[in-house]
Amino acid sequence: MKCKHLLGIVFTLCITLGLVMVFGCKTTKPDEPTVKEEPKRPPPPPPAPPPDPALSPFTIGILNRLRNEAEAFTIDQCQFFLSGGITLERNDEEKDQRAENGTAVFIDNISRKEIKINEKTEGAAYRILQNQSEILLPLCFDQDDRYQLAFSATRNENSQFFLRFNQQSDPSSDARGNLLYGGQRYRLKFSGGIPYLMIKLTEKKDPVRNQNEASGRKIAYTSTAAFDSSVPITTDILNRMKKSEDFSIDQYQFYLSGDITLERFNNQKKVSVIDGAVVFEDNPTSWHITVKDRTEGVAMDQADENGDETNLHICFDQDEKHQLVFSASARDPQSQFFLKFIPLNDPLDDARGNIEYAGQDYRLRFSGGRPHLRISLRKEVEDTTDQRTAPGRRINNR
């Protein structure tokens, strides 16, 4: 009995040990972190195409600009559009007759033909016709060159090209008139005003402003405080400078007495035809050059004697072409060298005058008195005394 009990205990221990070895040795793996996928962003939409140019009436003024300003212009470069829809109608009658069983039979066959040209239908012109009073454009809205409509305009700049036809004043008819089309005469119908020609027209205006300041042109050994000892240069000072040994005018540092501004404007206009559309480019360009007070300058040439005046050509920039002329009276020793320009006596214009600069004409502006030229001047006074006492002079026989 005891043996059975022992065997049961041993069996139970073996089963327990086996279960521990099977299940207890397994290690639970930690949960792997879940990677959250970011939602894919949709690609950016493609840029919207630029809007088509607006349709504008084609006028004599536009035609003149194209003929005078566009390079190698021909009228077939332009894509035209009809301003409003039109309908062309005609009736063709074919008559026949015969005898049938003793009866006279008359046969009238009426063939109706209708041609529609819708609003904004594209058309092409191949030539320009003109006389003393008007300009004529034959236009084709079909693939067959025989089918053309004529549009005419008077020689006024704002005159538009209207459809040319024979007007009809018959109140009983809904036709507005008649015209030839492909060698055949048609009745013309349309609603509203008389159709006219239109084109795609783009006007580009891009102002360009160029603004510069003269950098100054220094003598290598000039100190920054030299202007503090400057004085207006006069004819007398220049004449005394010329007496220096090995005199050269480019050895001296000059200065401008006040701010000046030079302005130049140029309105560059260009006309072209791109993909049938007319493009007007208006690019007003301006140049503004400032030379500030105390700006350093160097004389480019020796003093220029011109009649009763003396001129100094001063460069305040690194480019030697950029020179301003200052003049003084050659007869007055105390005459200062003032900026030379052509005065402008226009009460409606705040510019002070016109001046040439680097071969171009500029408007001149400054405030206060007329700008003049200055030079650094230092006076050194050496007061020496040669003192002696006369010894006297005696006659020899005394």
Residue type, 2: K
Residues 6+ apart with CB under 8 A from 184: 90
Task: Identify the pLDDT of residue 257.
Answer: 94
Task: Identify the pLDDT of residue 51.
Answer: 67
Residues 6+ apart with CB under 8 A from 288: 209, 210, 211, 212, 261, 262, 263
Tens-digit pLDDT profile for residues 268-319: 888 999 999 999 988 889 999 999 999 999 999 888 888 889 999 999 999 9
The pTM (predicted TM-score) of the whole model is 0.58
Task: Identify the pLDDT of residue 14.
Answer: 61
Instruction: Map residue 235 onto helix, strand or coil.
Output: helix
Q: What is the pLDDT tens value at each position of the chain, 398 positions in all? A: 545 555 566 566 666 666 556 555 555 555 666 666 667 777 877 776 666 678 999 999 999 999 999 999 999 999 999 999 999 999 877 777 777 777 776 777 778 899 999 999 999 999 999 998 999 999 999 999 999 999 999 989 999 999 999 998 777 678 899 999 999 999 999 999 999 999 999 988 888 899 999 999 988 776 766 788 889 999 999 999 999 888 899 889 999 999 999 999 988 888 999 999 999 988 889 999 999 999 999 999 888 888 889 999 999 999 999 999 999 999 999 999 999 999 987 777 789 999 999 999 999 999 989 999 999 888 776 777 778 888 878 887 65
C-alpha 169/C-alpha 311 separation (Å) is 81
State the DSSP H helix or E strand holding residue 24, giving kind and residue range, or none if neither. Answer: none
Q: Do 375 and 237 touch, CB atoms closer than 8 A?
A: yes
C-alpha 138/C-alpha 124 separation (Å) is 9
